[in-house]
Structure 1
């Protein structure tokens, strides 16, 4: 698909850019709104405030999920549209972003991506709203300049069909490598499973192969969404979107062994159950999980030092609608929420000692934000 790509720069940089405490905030968004694509802001880690105007706007079609390379010099975005694509960008030392290339994702509505530990491949999850098309995972090669190549591997899963409206087809919602780089985990909302693959970067053609066991099964109709590992790779945490739960796993030679499952809301109605993203604090002491729907909260859990089990600390309103994603800032003193449907980014103060979320520091208008990534 031919597209016109261009970079729009603001006429002048905000004074905050010169602040030694400034970090770069990248915002992905949906462009079926007034949004134009990827937004680059400066964020003051002392005050918790985002510059009112973006430093740069990079035109891209619905770049709903962003991935940064290990050195922060390459940026990848999934273009979440029918007949999906994935785009690559270069990030200059001053933060300026320029387009590199775009390739097909071989599927519809890609929603997530991640890089292999060796930075050689990008793993992409095609959600695919249509059950007839069905979701899939694809593997895209990445050269040393960040240029994407055509897909070298595509895998499809069998849906569970438990929910006839949402699980008639496979829906890959996340692709997450293990911290040691030896496995890749594909959360499939339509299959009620997390599929486990072994990764071999030296393999010619198919770097992913089914692990033993090949999957971890979740409750029928629960809808696995996003997965995150602790720093050591000993425990993993998974959101179940449709049942609004968070699952704790022990990781044993790549296998996921369920140890705990907790609800994100006490409300029983389906409209209150729409689990989203989850992130651990940098010190691993707290887990933050979003729940959308009619609840619109960030749920805070304390993480057991030895066993990784969770204990509820707080449920905090996001002060907006549909927290598609969120992130902790580099200082650990603030949590930023992308409220997609209320078109805003809300910055909440965070207490690093207790893990609790306090007052809102700022609410910034941003059309349909979907992902937030920091470059420290």
Structure 2
């Protein structure tokens, strides 16, 4: 195996290919007979303490590992990529405050052939689970959500001697569990924090020096507005764009129930701070066939949510009977009709539930898209597999057939906190 990996690395080009990746051969259902498309690297983390680099060859419909690293602490939980600087960041969900154990943030440089080189390794608060990158005054930073009621920031690039710029504790040190952090897509000057433990949304301004301001723009308690169970467990959200990229809309999803809460993000003229205005008139139209509608009566958890081009929403559902899937939505507003030309309600807000696609594995905890939007990589936690499926940007982001898949590490268990934890789409490498 080692000899094979060495041969693969030898054959890789010395320079990264910069030509754009093309659509799957023979339309949305790739047959894999073309060989002119560039290869891609995909990165994955596994709770066993391993980080994987895999090569995806669209022309041959192949996915295979080119590097396996024992790195990123005892429990790698989340990957974040900076394609501009060719850098990968990995969070470690291990550690416990009571006994002095810490989590970790690891920085990797991405070689021209897609393999990784560890550059720095720093301590975080225990339980680092989610991160987002941001830029202020041409300097880069990373914000990290930890399960210990704290949001931390670091200046980039990292040095192994670095300490966090700051550690902001949320308002309830016992219940607060920051589970996700997002950069606002309009002004890129605010960090939104989802608190899984208290079901609150915190909005922090980014100061000129890259620190998050101590005074928050807003703290929004979803339970004061949503007709919901006592605990929602908000863990994922997506931003969509209304009227082009002028105004943002925030969809917040419960990881425990099917509750979805929608807000318009309104920026105040006085201080520029955003606030959340509840949107109650988003109508959902279910465009799926009847058999798909009947199938949703199972218990499920929303494990991941992402939006592409500010309009197309994808939800990963971990279902209790091995029917895990990806739900596809398209938000229509104004003149955007999501392809439904006979829609009579153009000008109102309609969320089309267009399709359910298979996850091709158990419990899609993470997924990501190629920069061109022609492919989607699905990381399934329990089956510990990565599936590559085609995607058609010209058909409102419809997902197509599975192109290929590959196992990554041992199978996982939700109860034991094991399995594949994260997947991100890397760079083209020949």
TM-score (norm 2): 0.71
Q: 2:313 matched to which residue of 1?
A: 287
SS in 1 for 2:232: coil
RCO comparison, higher one (Cα < 8 Å, 6+): 2
Query: Comparing both structures, which one devotes a greater share of its residues to helix?
Result: 2
* Contact 2:122–2:160 (CA under 8 A) maintained in structure 1: no
Q: Select which of 364, 377, 382 maps to 1:336.
A: 377
When residues 354 and 190 of structure 1 are mapped into structure 2, their CA distance, relative to the original with a 3 A threshold, is same
When residues 200 and 354 of structure 1 are mapped into structure 2, their CA distance, relative to the original with a 3 A threshold, is closer
SS in 2 for 1:215: strand
Confirm whether residue 301 of structure 1 aligns to residue 366 of structure 2.
no
Report the Cα distance in structure 1 between the residues aligned to 2:112 and 2:328, rounded to whole angstroms: 35
Larger Rg: 2
Report the Cα distance in structure 2 between the residues aligned to 1:321 and 1:346, rounded to whole angstroms: 11
* Contact 1:74–1:146 (CA under 8 A) maintained in structure 2: no
Q: Where do residues 258-269 of structure 1 align in structure 2 (5 Å cutoff)?
A: 258-259=278-279
Q: 1:130 matched to which residue of 2?
A: none
Q: 1:172 matched to which residue of 2?
A: 178
Unaligned runs of 5+ in 1: 1-6, 128-133, 161-167
Confirm whether residue 252 of structure 1 aligns to residue 266 of structure 2.
yes
Unaligned runs of 5+ in 2: 14-35, 96-101, 268-273, 287-292, 335-347, 410-418
Q: 1:185 matched to which residue of 2?
A: 192
When residues 263 and 296 of structure 1 are mapped into structure 2, their CA distance, relative to the original with a 3 A threshold, is farther
Q: 1:79 matched to which residue of 2?
A: 92
Residue-by-residue CA offset, 1:170-194 (whole Å, 9 max, x unaligned): 2111111112221101111101011
Confirm whether residue 276 of structure 1 aligns to residue 317 of structure 2.
no
* Contact 1:225–1:239 (CA under 8 A) maintained in structure 2: yes
* Contact 2:377–2:424 (CA under 8 A) maintained in structure 1: no
When residues 24 and 363 of structure 1 are mapped into structure 2, their CA distance, relative to the original with a 3 A threshold, is closer
SS in 2 for 1:12: helix
Q: Where do residues 136-175 of structure 1 align in structure 2 (5 Å cutoff)?
A: 136-143=150-157, 149-158=162-171, 169-175=175-181
1:229 CA displacement = 2.4
Q: 2:204 matched to which residue of 1?
A: 197
Q: 2:414 matched to which residue of 1?
A: none
Q: Which runs of 4+ in 1 moved over 4 A?
A: 14-20, 145-148, 260-269
Report the Cα distance in structure 1 between the residues aligned to 2:85 and 2:299, rounded to whole angstroms: 37
Residue-by-residue CA offset, 1:129-156 (whole Å, 9 max, x unaligned): xxxxx4321122224x676721232223
Q: 2:386 matched to which residue of 1?
A: 345
1:76 CA displacement = 1.2
TM-score (norm 1): 0.80
Q: Select which of 351, 366, 373 maps to 2:408.
A: 366
Q: 1:43 matched to which residue of 2?
A: 56
* Contact 2:106–2:120 (CA under 8 A) maintained in structure 1: yes
* Contact 1:159–1:192 (CA under 8 A) maintained in structure 2: no
When residues 226 and 46 of structure 1 are mapped into structure 2, their CA distance, relative to the original with a 3 A threshold, is farther
Q: 1:229 matched to which residue of 2?
A: 239
1:236 CA displacement = 2.4
Q: Select which of 10, 24, 34 maps to 2:41.
A: 24
